[in-house]
């Protein structure tokens, strides 16, 4: 009789774990839908090629799923994802000292390349503008570039500080100085 009393506890425990797993999956999928394009842009900016970038984004979300299943902190998952992606890119570039900044893909919010409808002159002007911007970005320190890029992805100063492991005041200073240098260069 005593063993029959254990079965309802095991069933209840299994059901709780199953429901928790489903809620974790939903959360991960919601975050993926919202953040994968921005993270892919960020890892591309850090120098990862397209294929490596896709793998890093996938691995970041797999690590998030594992983190949540293990009962990890849930307070700022967006910054957590960017930090994991940042670390994965840096780990993949151990042998390379400088991040490549010459390739910044132009990706729409859906992740696709924009459709063309502009004239050849418009394309030429846009290409020149992008080239000037890329050149200006190379004049910034790596901390300024990374802070500005994360800010353009919509992260708040506190989230950027968490991702890059800087103080909030350092983030603000890097963004301010970076913007001033860009303004001078452009």
What pLDDT digit, counting tens, does each position of 83-98 carry? 999 999 988 876 444 4
- Quick check: is 54 in a domain? yes
Tokens 């970041």 appear where?
A: 60
Confidence at residue 130, expressed as pLDDT on a 0 to 100 scale: 82
For residue 79, CA distances in Å to 75, 86, 94, 111, 151 come to 9, 10, 22, 20, 12
pLDDT at 155 over 50: yes
All residues at 6 or more sequence positions from 95 whose CB lies less than 8 Å from its CB, including other chains: none
* Whether residue 91 sits in one domain with residue 1: yes
pTM: 0.63
- Quick check: is 64 in a domain? yes
* Whether residue 69 sits in one domain with residue 28: yes
Tokens 């800010």 appear where?
A: 151
pLDDT at 177 over 70: yes
Confidence at residue 10, expressed as pLDDT on a 0 to 100 scale: 54
* Whether residue 91 sits in one domain with residue 131: no
* Whether residue 137 sits in one domain with residue 75: no
* Whether residue 92 sits in one domain with residue 171: no
Report d(CA 64, CA 184) in Å as an integer. Answer: 40
Q: For 155-182, what is the mean pLDDT? A: 93
**DSSP 8-state code for residue 72:** -
């Amino acid at each position: 009789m005593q063993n029959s009393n254990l079965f309802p506890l095991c069933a209840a425990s299994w059901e709780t774990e199953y429901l928790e797993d489903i809620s974790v999956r939903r959360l991960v999928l919601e975050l993926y839908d919202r953040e994968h394009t921005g993270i892919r842009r960020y890892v591309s900016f850090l120098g990862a090629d397209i294929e490596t970038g896709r793998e890093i984004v996938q691995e970041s979300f797999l690590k998030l799923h594992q983190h949540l299943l293990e009962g990890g902190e849930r307070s700022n998952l967006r910054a957590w994802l960017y930090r994991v992606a940042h670390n994965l890119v840096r780990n993949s570039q151990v042998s390379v000292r400088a991040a490549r900044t010459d390739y910044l893909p132009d990706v729409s919010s859906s992740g696709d390349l924009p459709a063309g409808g502009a004239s050849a002159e418009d394309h030429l002007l846009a290409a020149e503008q992008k080239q000037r911007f890329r050149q200006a970005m190379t004049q910034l320190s790596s901390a300024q570039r990374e802070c500005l890029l994360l800010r353009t992805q919509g992260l708040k100063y506190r989230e950027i500080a968490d991702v890059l492991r800087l103080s909030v005041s350092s983030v603000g200073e890097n963004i301010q100085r970076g913007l001033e240098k860009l303004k001078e260069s452009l």
